[in-house]
Amino acid sequence: MHFEFDAKFWVGIAFISFIALIAKPVGRIIVAGLDKRGNRIQNDLDEAVRLREEAQALLAGYQKNQKKALSEVEEILAHARSEVARVTKETRENLEKELSRKTELAMQKIAQAETSVVQEMRDTLVDMVTQASKNVISANLSKDKAESLLSNSIAEVGRKLH
């Protein structure tokens, strides 16, 4: 058996040797590139996780603030409702007091008007009685006797009315 080493053989050996020689450095370069890319992907994933955690923290903060704001709104509404109820009650009481005061004032005015009408009727009656008495007395009595009776009658009517 004899092997002939022709040019094809030596080209094949040279090619395999070349591949073997550059495989290690090229492999290192490829591995370094893949490691670099893997590190970059890992950093991107870590950044994404960090950003997600920040977003969740912000969301939790906003939800907390929203709950706090809703609680404050409910407190404000409750206070406003109680204030409206208080003002309504106070206004109703004031209106009732004012109505009572005006009713009392109207009753006093009515009483004064009644008193005034009664007094006016008494005065008119006294004037009419006095005039009638004068007419009767002057027709039937002498002047001296008439004046005496008239004076006595006026005095007596004045006493009885007052």
Picking from 33-37, 62-66, 115-119, 129-133, which range would have the lowest pLDDT averaged per residue? Answer: 129-133
Residues 39, 45: Cα–Cα separation, whole Å: 10
The pTM (predicted TM-score) of the whole model is: 0.42
Provide the pLDDT for residue 24. 85
**Above pLDDT 90, what percent of the chain?**
57
Q: What is the DSSP secondary-structure string of 26-82?
A: HHHHHHHHHHHHHHHHHHHHHHHHHHHHHHHHHHHHHHHHHHHHHHHHHHHHHHHHH
Judge whether residue 114 has pLDDT over 60: yes
- At residue 88 the predicted structure's pLDDT band, cuts being 50, 70 and 90, is very high
**b/e map of 11-27 (b: 16 or more CB within 10 Å)?**
eeeeeeeeeeeeeeeee
Report residue 27's pLDDT band, with 50, 70 and 90 as the boundaries. Answer: confident
Question: What sign has the CA pseudo-torsion 81, 82, 88, 92?
Answer: positive
If one counts every other C-beta atom within 10 angstroms of the C-beta of residue 122, the result is: 13
Does the pLDDT at position 130 exceed 90? no
- Please check whether residue 157 is in contact with residue 129, taking contact to mean a CB–CB distance below 8 angstroms: yes
Q: How far apart are CA 122 and CA 129, in angstroms?
A: 10
Residue tagged 């006095």 (tokens)? 130
Whole-number Å distance between alpha carbons of 128 and 20: 156
Confidence of residue 1 (pLDDT cuts 50, 70, 90): low
The rounded distance, in Å, linking the Cα atoms of 24 and 128 is 150
pLDDT tens-digit map of 33-57: 999 999 999 999 999 999 999 999 9
